[in-house]
Structure 1
Amino acid sequence: MDVKHSRTVADQAIVIEGDTIRAIGPDRSIAHKYAATRTIDATGKFVMPGLWDMHVHFGGEQLIEENKDLLPLYVAFGVTTVRDCAEDISPSVLEWRSAVAEGRLLGPTIFTSGPKFEGYKPLWKGTIEVGTPAEVETALDRLQAMKVDFVKITDNTLKPDIFLYALKAAKARGLKTSAHTPYALTIEQAVRTGLNSVEHIDYLIKAGSPHEATIGAEYAAKKLTYGEASNKFVETFDPVYAAQEYRRLARLGVYVTPTLNEGRVLAYLDRDDHSRDPALAYIGPGLRKTYDWRIGRAAKATPEQVEARHQEYELSLKIVPMLRDAGIPILAGTDAGYLNSFIYPGEGLHEELERYVEAGLTPQQALYSATVTGPAFLGHSDRYGELASGKAADVLILNANPLNDIKATREISGVVLHGKWLDRGALDKLLANAKAKAAR
């Protein structure tokens, strides 16, 4: 299946040697040229690149084994690559990255930011606290020594001027950046300074308000709370202005990871009961316990705050096709893992893609966001993003065509991970093992 060009090509054979695709072509011509030691019969099935989840989290110093147990779970759902967007257990994640790459550990390929940048006394654990340019440079030295794949910066306590300095400094070193942007800055300011990826679609609501700078200044002057500022961005969102701004951002080369399904789950915690979600059985008790934080916050919301959450999500749905029309590349990401209630590793990516189609993307555009744009963002399109000679042997074999129905991504017959074949029985065993470990 050619995701890039939204087409299927019949009667094709794929030759895999080690962890690399060596050839693709008509069955008959391939059979004459190559003698396979093993053949997988995919007659009547649909073959595509493995899926990428471009926003996941690992975390919790006491939950390292529970986090590690999530790795095979991603594979069982056809996710062959993840981008870890910061955590407080970096030494473990870096070891897993190496172990997966060397074939010592079954799991998706891991790209990681390591610990993220924040200001002093941050909300999140395991962050690198910076408050001066010198501290930013020292922190970047540390991250480069870890050989991180990109830099994650968030806005909880980080001063806006240091946020901008961090973007400039990272760019000067050739490092990609991903961020939550301070309300005191506009999204365009951040992107012009060097931001490569905006995480979470609510920041694009902010960018779509003609009053973005004014509301941000009021928040910085403490005339508005964070929630009040967020509500004002929603209330003042202007579709005409937003379309123009999104085109400007597209020309600047920014990517966006909407994490749309997370927005849906959190927006409707007041009405949706997740206690019987089948995927909850795969999550260890320690990680499940971390869900309580967001659940508790949602339970304290006033009726007005609940309605504001609903309105923000409904607006988010409208923005997704606007990003597509503007030419902003969309990175499919879930925010699955530590702390993020009911956003499930592996399965969550299928839900994310379904939300994109619900919002107005075609199935091909949704698939593109989970196979092509991730490699492009990280600079690895030479190795990933399509089924072709010389590309990585990360392959998803499906029973139905996802170009017709995005839900077909769930109908997995088997996965080739780094050249290793996992049939449906092997994938079911991974699921059973994950459930058994979580139950213990």
Structure 2
Amino acid sequence: MRTKFLLLLGLLSIISTYCATQEQIISFEKVNVIPMDRDTILKNHRVIIANGKILKIEPTLSQPPIPVDQTIDAEGKFMIPGLVETHFHLQNNIENEFKLLIANGITSARNMAEYDGQDHIKIRNQSRNNEFFAPHYYTTGPYLKRDHFQHIDSVESVVQFHKDRGYDFLKIADNLPKDIYLKLLDRTNEAGIDVVGHGQRKMPLEYSLRIKSIAHMEEFMYILPEDKLHDQYYLKRAAQDIKSSGIYVSPTLGIFEMIRRYADKQKSAELHADDNLKYLPKHYSDYWTSVRINYRVHKWFIAPESLKRLQNELNWQKMFTKMLHDQGVPLMAGSDTYGLFLPGFSLHRELELIHASGLSNYETLKTATLVPARYLNTITQSGTISEGKLADFVLLNKNPLENIKHTKSIFGVVLKGKWLNRIILDQLLKEVENNYSEE
């Protein structure tokens, strides 16, 4: 009797939610749900969404408990939470780059620098107001380097600027004098602003672990003593210290891999033939496929011994990524979109490299779903497929728990409760191609 009563209450709750909304009610039928709160698949399930949220998740054994406006046959498909790009850089047109993100299943993005002439607070507001197709958006302020702090009193004005503008994070990207760095941490703490970015390479590791997150596994190659980089005992202790600090780490292995691809003639030729270059402005792709870029000019990159060094350094970063994971350090996927590492497409390569570091497919998926949701303080609304959470998810044709490359087999995307099927996603890509071909 009690069970029937609880079921009735649940049904009334769903009907109440249904009646209170004027949005379309969409039911995804016979879908395999990968909820991401645990390593499992909920096979042959129904997921009902309305008003931008997930109303109901249940086995597809009967008719939907409420009338639905649209039914999506998702038999044989796999549903995962929307992916999060935690290291995005705007290089060209924002609407075009957002389309690339969305078409690749990315429903949230964290921008990691506001360059001169850009206004990412405006972009964030446009995203929130749905002025154009856009993921949920978060941003740092300017790309802060040593010359932004002419003297210690500069810290006050820099922090106040970030607070007045309302940035989500303050990013540092350079080695700062110790007194300036410590004062910056004091003032940002008082202002309630999280500091993120690069490590402090000229100070002991502990100083770098005082910020919210570190971008680039490469940073640890310079923070840790050079003579200790292959001392497994020392590295394990360092990994334990990193875990104890509570810091998040974004490996960005893919952007480092790109350096070697630029520098190697054969791999560079493969980049030039990439069909995805059509999603970049011609002047931009022409520059990055030219011989003018640093990675094709300096012997530090192009000499045979340099190519070996770059590969060894990438191997070290993958090794340390696995070591940090084994110690429980929260890792976040971010691709540092730059050059020919195209927005959207790049995140899938980043996931492949994280997986190649030794993480399971499930743990790799967490770096682009559950972990960044916890980091962004949105875990109550995103990061997993759960009732009451935002309807931001991806439908895949193939199971990513079998092969991480299957994150690219996108059948459709739900962004802010809107169903974007493959036809719509292809249209977004075509619009980007056409926009740039007309320039």
TM-score with structure 1 setting the length: 0.85
What residue in structure 2 maps to residue 220 of structure 1?
Answer: none
Tell whether 2:437 aligns with 1:418.
no
1:28 is displaced (CA, Å) by 4.1
**Distance in 2 of aligned mates of 1:186 and 1:294:** 36
Q: Which runs of 5+ in 1 are unaligned?
A: 121-128, 213-231
Asked whether the 8 Å contact 1:268–1:310 carries over to 2, the reply is no
Counterpart CA distance in 1 for 2:283 and 2:109 is 22
Q: Which residue of 2 aligns with 1:245?
A: 238
Larger Rg: 2
Moved more, 167-176 or 344-353: 167-176
Whether the 8 Å contact between 1:21 and 1:392 is mirrored in structure 2 is yes
| Inter-CA distance 30–352: structure 2 relative to 1 (3 Å threshold) | farther
Are 1:187 and 2:205 counterparts? yes
Aligned partner of 2:219 among 182, 194, 203:
203
Distance in 2 separating the partners of 1:15 and 1:138: 49
Matched, 1:143 2:157: no
Counterparts of residues 278-293 of structure 1 (less than 5 Å): 278-288=275-285, 291=288
The residue number in structure 1 matching 2:127 is: 100
Give 1:116 shift.
Answer: 2.9
CA distance, structure 1, for counterparts of residue 364 and residue 117 of structure 2: 30
The aligned counterpart of 2:253 is 260
Match of 1:229 in 2: none
Residues 335/434 of structure 1: CA separation in 2 closer, same or farther (3 Å cut): same
Where does residue 79 of structure 2 map in the other structure?
Answer: 47
Cα pair distance change 1:400/1:236, threshold 3 Å: closer
1:102-122 Cα shifts (integer Å, max 9, x gaps): 2211021111002132222xx
Q: CA deviation at 1:276?
A: 1.0
Q: Hey, what does 1:116 align to over in structure 2? A: 143
- The offset of 1:308, in angstroms, is 2.3
Instruction: Call closer, same or farther: CA 1:301–1:247 in 2, change over 3 Å.
Output: same
- Residues 294-333 of structure 1 correspond to what in structure 2 (within 5 A)? 295-302=293-300, 303=303, 304-333=305-334
- Alpha-carbon distance in structure 1 between the residues aligned to 2:292 and 2:179: 30
> Deviation per CA, 1:263-313, whole angstroms, max 9, x where unpaired?
111133232121111221101134435636983344312424333222211
Instruction: Evaluate the alpha carbon distance shift between residue 4 and residue 294 of structure 1 in structure 2; reply closer, same or farther with a 3 A threshold.
Output: farther
Instruction: Determine helix, strand or coil for the equivalent of 2:71.
Output: coil
SS of structure 1 residue aligned to 2:80: strand
Q: Report the Cα distance in structure 1 between the residues aligned to 2:292 and 2:180, rounded to whole angstroms.
A: 29
The root-mean-square deviation of aligned C-alpha atoms, in Å, is: 2.1
Cα distance in 2 for partners of 1:294, 1:38 equals 52
| Partner SS for 1:268 | helix
In structure 1, distance between residues paired with 2:119 and 2:185: 26
**Hey, what does 2:368 align to over in structure 1?**
370
Call closer, same or farther: CA 1:372–1:426 in 2, change over 3 Å: same
- Displacement of 1:415 in angstroms is 0.3
3-state SS of the aligned residue for 2:40? coil
Task: Specify the alignment match of 2:22 in structure 1.
Answer: none
Q: How far off is 1:152 after superposition?
A: 0.7
- Are residues 1:358 and 2:390 paired? no
Q: Determine the C-alpha separation between the residues in 1 that align with 2:419 and 2:279.
A: 23
Moved over 6 A (4+): none
Kept after mapping to 2: 8 A contact 1:13/1:30? no
Match of 2:13 in 1: none
Q: Which residue of 1 aligns with 2:53?
A: 20
Change (3 A) 1:289 1:97: farther
Amino acid at match of 2:174: D
- The residue type paired with residue 123 of structure 2 is W
The code of the aligned residue for 2:49 comes to I
Could you tell me which runs of 5 or more consecutive residues in structure 2 were left unpaired when the two chains were aligned. Answer: 1-33
Does the Cα contact within 8 Å between 1:79 and 1:346 map onto a contact in 2?
Answer: yes
Q: Give the whole-Å Cα distance in 1 for the aligned partners of 2:161 and 2:167.
A: 9
Q: TM-score, normalised by structure 2?
A: 0.85
C-alpha contact 2:221 2:229 (8 A) present in aligned 1:
no
Contact 1:151–1:177 (Cα < 8 Å) also in 2: yes
2:187 counterpart of 1:155: no
Percent identity (aligned): 28
The separation in 1 between residues aligned to 2:159 and 2:169, in whole angstroms, is 10
Give the SS at the match of 1:269: helix
Aligned match of 1:275: 272
Matched-pair contact (CA < 8 Å) for 2:361–2:404: yes
Secondary structure of 2:37's partner? Answer: coil
